[in-house]
Amino acid sequence: MSKKFYITTPIYYVNAHPHIGHAYTTIACDTIARRHRMLGDDTWFLTGTDEHGQKIERAAQAAGKTPQQFTDEISAEFRALWERMGLTHDDFIRTTSERHRQGVQALWRKIRDNGYIYKGTYTGQYCVSDELYVDAVGPGAPCPDCGRPTETVHEENYYFKLSAFQDQLIRLYTEQPDFIRPETRRNEVLSFVRGGLRDLSISRSTFSWGIPVPDDPKHVVYVWLDALANYITALGYGSSDPSKFDKYWPADVHMIGKEIVRFHCVYWPAFLLAAGLPLPKGITAHGWLLFEESKMSKSRGNIVRAETIVDVLGTDALRYFLLREVVFGQDGSFSFDALVQRYNSDLANGLGNLASRTLTMITRYFKGEVPYPSHAAHTPSDAAIADAARKVIADYGTLFDQYQFSRALETAWGLVSAVDKYIVENEPWSLGDKQDEESRSRLATVLYTSAEALRIVTALAHPVMPDATAKIWAQMGLGDIGKFDLTQLQWGQLHLGTKLGEVQAVFPRADKSVVERMQKMEEQSGGTGVPPATIAGGETGASPVQPSAARQPAAGTPPPAAAAKPAATIPDGKISIDDFAKVELRVAQVKTAERVKGTDKLLRLEVDLGTEVRQLVAGIAEAYEPETLIGRKIVIVANLAPRKLRGLESNGMIVAASPEGGKPVLASFLEDVPVGTRLK
Ligand code: MSP
């Protein structure tokens, strides 16, 4: 029997136009949904737009439109973009829709009738941008989360008894460690909740752009309660037809960006518990796409639109890049150079080249029919490819199910490289020149082996690159890849005599002008707002960033290895400024510090980076007492891949001088420096 699988994206605010940050989450979910469908699961994939609240009301005002007009337009932009990119969501929910209003009011009534809503008065600082009361004192005091000025609000509000759920939530995170992934986010949430939960104001009466509170329409429902409820209202919760809700709820995964973890992992489960509803099975938070070192966002004016990349390189290139280049869960940088470099090395020279050379040779030497892999003509190198492919099928599935997309793709592309090498070593073109039986048999075996490996990579990569893989599949004469049952993927199923279709290049090589074209398109759209020289590298001359050859694939079609060589102009033993720029050094402030049990050397620290709190494990316990570090500003390598020390994940490294034979001394500053500042 098929399993059900329900996956959601956050619903996006309509105060900004869609950009690749939004596309990132939606693409990840689309890829996961596609894989589940290929595995035969009864899959439901939901996305939508978040349209209420003061922030949207003000954005509409600034645009000289009514909130409804404004939200209609921007919501339509999101829908149109997703359609253009071929995303396969099953539903698109808008919080201004009638079905959502009904569902939210039903949820409110349920929570109220269960005794978890009461009325009270409140005076405090409100952050309009975060739509949240915050701990800040005095008119205009900055929001501790985003730094924007807060507003003093005096309101009679409805409150949700969040404090009643503290113990249940702690139990949930402890008993179900996979409820929040990755582990760093879980730890943050756990310490937040352990710090104590205050009741939450869940209505507003200072503006009206929202869903009226049942039986008290002077108030509108707090935008986060309104928004979070989308995950159930879209399934028909509170409507006359709850059949989808009965079938798909609880969600298998809510996919979100790391900045909205608290809302999803604390408030949402508490609301559901209060309503007596089942909890989602898991919440997964990914990192941010950065552009020029900071989070891509409308307010920073550093966004990149997906349309530009889709127009120039195609949706598949963007999908592959985002999932391969960024380690899911961590922040990752976007640049046009990196995109084009990845495209050329992995797609044009990698999968595309493997497909075209293998299929062209089958066309040329075997009249376009998959040849028979003669047993007599087998060598250990054929068996090695078959074994590698079997391992890839297993490993790819495991990694993918853990949402380790980058590693899954790396594994599959390892097979592409292995087959490339295998082809070069076996020289099918030389075998093809010979007419003796032995050479023909050997040629048949080499081409069968290559084609079968190509089929396996194509099937595995289909959820990531639906269009290109559908084309390769059709060129292989295998029909509609959408009908392929992924549970049946095994080595050796490529049928002999399969008649190939017409062979065409799937990923034409991109030259340097492609980067410039995309940059121009973005400048004209008012997107990135960054002068081209700072992001181009290469030929733009005035660039303060020294271009490196690794980012500049040469013209023609060099083998991937050649394209990835370091620049010849950098003397031995030196690094380029680009290399240095890869190391993200930032100022962090120590929030907590404690000894790691069972070691003399290690301390576990939680440090504030301005945008997030991280756990680090550092070997400085012999030099510093934990208490003396609290509040101290230190320097950390912020983009070091996480690693585990004594079972604890360390997300970064403290920078310290390490005198020979002496104790480490932490790097610090004479002047005060804001938390999060980057060292360059
Ligand atoms: N409306 C709320 C979410 C409510 S869900 C019940 C919201 N909207 S948002 O428009 O700000 O979208 C936030 C989400 O968009 C992030 O959580 C993430 O999924 C995605 N991203 C937006 N910018 C992003 C980056 N620069 N990088 C990665 N993801 C980004 O918050």
pLDDT of 569 reads 55
Q: How far is 30 from 88, CA to CA, in rounded Å?
A: 6
Query: Percent of the chain having pLDDT more than 70?
Result: 92
What is the per-residue pLDDT across 180-191, written as a single tens digit (0 to 9) for each? Answer: 999 999 999 999
Residue among 9, 15, 22, 612 whose CB has most ligand 1 atoms within 8 A, to mutate: 22
What is the per-residue pLDDT across 101-111, written as a single tens digit (0 to 9) for each? Answer: 999 999 999 99
Q: From the alpha carbon of 268, which atom of ligand 1 is closest? A: 6
pLDDT score of 547 more than 70: no
Q: Is the peptide bond before 250 cis (omega within 30 degrees of 0)?
A: yes
Please report the sign of the dihedral spanned by the C-alpha atoms of residue 533, residue 538, residue 539, residue 542: positive
φ/ψ of residue 250, rounded to 5: -80, 155
Spell out a b/e string for 297-326, using b for 16 or more CB atoms within 10 Å of the CB, else e.
beeeebbbbbbbbbebbbbbbbbbbbbbbb
CATH for 579-679, options being 2.40.50.140, 3.90.1560.10, 3.40.50.2000, 2.60.120.680 = 2.40.50.140
Pinpoint the residues of the chain covered by CATH 1.10.730.10.
335-488
DSSP alpha helix (H) spans, 462-511: 466-475
Q: Under DSSP, is residue 676 helix (H, G, I), strand (E, B) or coil?
A: coil
Specify the residue for token string 């102009």.
569
CATH for 4-295, options being 3.10.180.10, 3.90.45.10, 3.40.640.10, 3.40.50.620 = 3.40.50.620
β-sheet bridge partners, residue 643: 650
Q: How many angstroms from the chain centroid is the CA of residue 403? A: 9
The model carries a pTM of: 0.77
What is the per-residue pLDDT across 195-240, written as a single tens digit (0 to 9) for each? Answer: 999 999 999 998 999 999 999 999 999 999 999 999 999 999 999 9
What is the per-residue pLDDT across 460-484, written as a single tens digit (0 to 9) for each? Answer: 999 999 999 999 999 999 999 999 9
Q: From ligand 1's centre to the CA of 630, what distance in Å?
A: 32
Residue among 228, 260, 327 whose CB has most ligand 1 atoms within 8 A, to mutate: 260
Does domain 335-488 fall under CATH 3.90.1170.50? My reply is no
pLDDT score of 526 more than 80: no
10 Å Cβ neighbour count for 69?
11
Specify the residue for token string 């899911």.
328
Q: pLDDT band at 527, cuts 50/70/90?
A: low
Query: Ligand 1 pocket by C-beta < 6 Å: which residues?
Result: 10-13, 21-22, 24-25, 50, 227-228, 230, 256-257, 259-260, 288-289, 295-297
Q: Do 253 and 281 meet the contact criterion of CB atoms below 8 Å apart?
A: yes
Q: How far is 382 from 387, CA to CA, in rounded Å?
A: 9
Helix, strand, coil % over all residues of the chain, rounded to 5: 45, 20, 40
Pinpoint the residues of the chain covered by CATH 3.40.50.620.
4-295
Specify the residue for token string 């994940």.
649
Q: How far apart are the first and last CA of the chain?
A: 56
Q: Under DSSP, is residue 532 helix (H, G, I), strand (E, B) or coil?
A: helix
